Amino acid sequence: MTAAADAIARLAASDRLLVALDFDGTLSPLEDEPMDARMLPAARDAVDALVATPDTIVAFVSGRSLVDLRVIAEHDDSSRELLAGSHGAEFWIPGEGIASHGEDEADIALRDALRGHAEDATAHLDGVWIEPKTFGFGVHTRRATAAAAAEANRLVDEIVAAEAPHWRRRTGHNIVEFAFRHEGKDSAIAELRERVGASAVLFAGDDVTDEDALASLGEEDLGVRVGEGQTSATVRVADIAALAALLQQLAETRSRSRA
């Protein structure tokens, strides 16, 4: 039995399973225009199958702000998936709505000032976009040349180092994120696990920011890395389609075992 098949059989037998999934690059292709991201049909079908499986909870765990995550996930108040946005600093819970860890006025004022400084400093660089986030901002360079991307990151690193050295810095696919909140996807998984009373967790992701969560998983859990890169995951799949197939197999196996 392969590692993936063995893990699916084990998770299918768990009492209460949390399936937590990164969004960009994991369920949706990476897009030059970030708000164009949408789940591939096969990924949506697999998520829907898991949501319908007994004693199975699905959550999307993303660095996106909660408001943007709801848009790209096509998520509304009737949706049954839990959401963890801003790397676990804000949540959406079915039947409850938004649950945010909050912030104070000084943090918000500094966020807005730094975002403005970053926009001004990079305005001359083609293909660079400063993305507003609930607890900070991101420097997108997917459409920039390598030289422009390096210059944008250098300029913004200097701004944050001078004005907010206590902020957390994260890197991802053609993005550098800065935030005054220090939660990570590992803390998001821990909070979701406790909230839903999960006996096992599957977490899948494709980027550096997902590795905190993958490294935090226990022996009864399963970490899945989508694509290349160094990882703490125990299973690797080639792409979104392969992950969707794994999730669909898990839904089918778990449904049979709990029938």
The number of C-alpha atoms within 13 Å of 45 and in the hemisphere containing its C-beta is 12
Give me the chain's average pLDDT, please.
94
Instruction: Check whether 69 has a pLDDT greater than 80.
Output: yes
> What is the C-alpha to C-alpha distance for residues 112 and 138, in angstroms, rounded to an integer?
12
pLDDT, residue 259, reads 66
pLDDT in tens, 10-62: 999 999 999 999 999 999 999 988 899 999 999 999 999 999 999 999 999 99
pLDDT tens figures, 154-173:
999 999 999 999 999 999 88
- Does position 120 have pLDDT exceeding 70, yes or no? yes
Opening angle at CA 82, ends 78 and 83, nearest 5: 110
Question: pTM (2 decimals)?
Answer: 0.83
pLDDT digits (tens, 9 = 90+) for 38-50: 999 999 999 999 9
Note the pLDDT tens digit of each residue in 238-252.
999 999 999 999 999
In this predicted structure, the answer to whether residue 88 has a pLDDT above a threshold of 70 is yes
Helix (H) / strand (E) element for 69: namely helix 66-72
pLDDT band at residue 101 under the 50/70/90 scheme: low
Residue with tokens 């690059």: 25
Nearest 5 degrees, angle CA 87-CA 91-CA 97? 160
Burial class (CB in 10 A: 0-12, 13-18, 19+), 102: exposed
pLDDT at position 1 over 70:
no
Give yes or no for residue 186 having a pLDDT over 70.
Answer: yes
For 108-135, what is the mean pLDDT? 95
**Is the predicted pLDDT of residue 255 greater than 70, yes or no?**
yes
Q: The tokens of 189 are what?
A: 């998984």
**DSSP codes, 188-211:** HHHHHHHHHT-SEEEEEE-SGGGH
What's the whole-number mean pLDDT along residues 90-119?
Answer: 90
Please give the pLDDT value at position 258: 75
Whether the pLDDT of residue 114 is over 90: the answer is yes
Please spell the DSSP secondary structure of 132-146, one letter per residue: EETTEEEEE-TTS-H
- For residue 60, with 0-12 CB atoms within 10 Å meaning exposed, 13-18 middle and 19 or more buried, which class applies? buried
More confident residue, 3 or 98: 98
